[in-house]
Structure 1
Amino acid sequence: MKINILDTHKLYMEMMKLSENRRYDYFDENFLKPFAPVFERTRMPRNPEALSCLSLTGKDKIAENMLVQLVDKNVWHEAHKAIELAVYTLKDTGIKLPEEITLGIFLGDPDKLSQSEGYTGVGSVPGYIQIIIAPNSQNLQKINACIAHEFHHNVLFNNVKWDFMNVTLSQYLAVEGLAESFASFLYGDVFIGPWVTGVSGADLERTREIIEKNLDVSGFMEVRKYIFGDHPMIPESDVLGIPFCGGYATGYHAVQALLLKTHKSIVEATKDFVDGVDVVKQSGYFNI
């Protein structure tokens, strides 16, 4: 597999030398154009705001400080190693891997990312991974696990036809639960994301009760209410009593229950899903 890690450190330093009125064009050409298929496939707006990136203007000192933190952790080199480890783990499994990966690390807006510990990722289009991070001591330790999560999405969608019009809640839970279980397998539970750790106890139990009655709900616009919960992208009128990213947490725990029940590895569970098995319904996590 060819691994392309975009040198966003160099690109940010070059961009900040430009006058502010030239920066959006520069950002689009150098940061976003390499990910054009992502925007085309997902219909996500092609701009830094849609990605929760740090403002391109008026934030140079903040950007410089963020870049120093990323350089200190050698995150671009670490990102390459993270993908190599993920590839090594999934090779020779009968699961088709993308032939090429392009990964970009973008500076994030700490306010927009406040509910997710200052970082997030995008990896649903095979061959492309975007990590958006407002670095801090907590999330810098988790960036490789986030890359593993998004790489797993890359692999899954390279093998499974994803029909947004008809995707079921059970399928979407599996996609997120398998990805985070893959990340925890590679890096340990301590590095799993806030989309899992942020929902526990009574909140998790309530979410499970709501979701288990609706596993066959289909269509992305309906399914997302259960996955994202009380999330900025979900209109207040559509919130179902599920906390922020409650579906992510539920999917993770369902997959963990499956692994415990079947004694299968996360790689074997991934292959089962690729082969059409409804791993969430077979997990034993739900009273169905």
Structure 2
Amino acid sequence: MYFFIPGGVDMAAVHQQNFGFPVNGSDATDERVREGLATLLAANAWERVGAALRDGVAALTSAVPDLTMPDLQVLLVLGDPTNAHFMNEVAGVSGFGGISGYITVTVWPHPVVLDRLEAIVVHELHHNVRYSPGGVVWDPATVTVGEHVVAEGLADVFAAELHGRRGYTHFVGERTRTDDAVLAKVASGLGVTGMADFASWVLGDASAALFGARRVGLPTGAGYAAGARLVRAYLDATGTTAAGSVHTPSADILEVALPRLGLAPDARH
């Protein structure tokens, strides 16, 4: 996945940054890791991941018949049960699908995560297709918070199209999902560029503190909640689907969605 980085990366550091299982833990921690692995195996996690991806690919190619699918490589990683942020703040899940052809999902197999496993995977699939050749270009120098927020909204709504309420990211609080003040605050940052601030606007203050970004006064998962509302407003107005909108520019979505939600059209600039 990191082929484009000269000299590669420290894979042990990447594993740790992605909340992967501890490799030098105590005997008690090692036992928890073994129990977690046994739980994943008992839940047929790997087989379910494959089936979910096949269903997701079918949904996307049905909605966009000329879609070119990347040749996917998928990594399912057992998470770190000793990491308080991973276990509590983001409730045992961390995923990344933003580099074409590669999806990584780190989980701790508690009941909610196991119930949502398929939805978690197809969320990342939507990202992967969005940022594959022929889709949206993620330029680190110019990409905006608006693109990231819309992408999370599209991915969650796509997962919901396939899996109902289980599609929505579970570390987002119910109040956050409907809080107009949260929506307005996120909307005020849609034009922010510079990926260093993305954790603040999308993941919220707790994650911003973890990653050394400035806090902007948002709860965990605020960008996901706002993104889902923006995307839902756009889809309701246009009669399309998140699957069919996988390559729709975020500016087009925001141009329709912001006024429908009572937000100024220029909030994204």
TM over 0.5: yes
Q: Which residue, out of 38, 43, 46, partners 1:68?
A: 38
Compared CA separation, residues 233 and 53, structure 1 to 2 (3 A):
farther
Residues 238-277 of structure 1: CA distance to partner in whole angstroms, max 9, x if unpaired? 211111121121111111121122221222222433xx75
Aligned with 1:144 (options 118, 132, 136): 118
Q: Which of these residues, 116, 130, 133, is aligned with residue 156 of structure 1? A: 130
Q: In the alignment, does 2:56 pair up with 1:86?
A: yes
Deviation at 1:190, TM superposition (A): 3.2
C-alpha distance in structure 2 between counterparts of 1:268 and 1:201, whole Å: 23
Q: Percent identity?
A: 23
Once superposed, what is the RMSD of the aligned Cα atoms?
2.4
Structure 2 residue aligned with 1:210: 185
Identify unmatched segments of 5+ residues in structure 2.
265-269
Tell me the equivalent position of 1:56: 23
Q: Which residue number corresponds to residue 200 of structure 2?
A: 225
Structure 1 partner of 2:99: 125
TM-score by length of 2: 0.83
**Counterpart in the other structure of 1:46:** 11
After the TM superposition, which parts of structure 1 deviate over 6 Å for at least 4 consecutive aligned residues? none
Partner of 1:102: 73
Amino acid at match of 1:143: L
1:39-60 deviation digits (Å, cap 9, x = unpaired): x49x975322111112113332
The farther-off stretch of 189-198 and 137-146 is 189-198
Q: Given residue 164 of structure 1, which amino acid in structure 2 is its aligned partner?
A: P
CA distance in 1, matches of 2:204, 2:46: 32
Extract unaligned runs of 5+ from structure 1: 1-34
Query: How many residue pairs are counted as aligned between the two chains?
Result: 248
2:146 to 167, 170, 184: 170
Alpha-carbon distance in structure 2 between the residues aligned to 1:231 and 1:247? 13
The answer (yes or no) to whether the contact 2:158–2:167 under 8 Å persists in 1 is: no
Cα distance 1:201–1:251, how it changes in 2: closer, same or farther (>3 A)? closer
**Deviation per residue, 1:13-52 (Å, 9 max, x gap):** xxxxxxxxxxxxxxxxxxxxxx4448x49x9753221111
TM-superposition CA deviations, 1:57-97 (whole Å, max 9, x none): 33321122111111111111111101100111111513322
SS in 1 for 2:49: helix
Cα distance change, pair 44–160 in 1 and its aligned pair in 2 (3 A): farther
Counterpart amino acid of residue 97 in structure 1: M
Deviation at 1:200, TM superposition (A): 2.2
Contact 1:231–1:245 (8 Å) recurs in 2: no
Report the TM-score, using the length of structure 1 for normalisation: 0.78
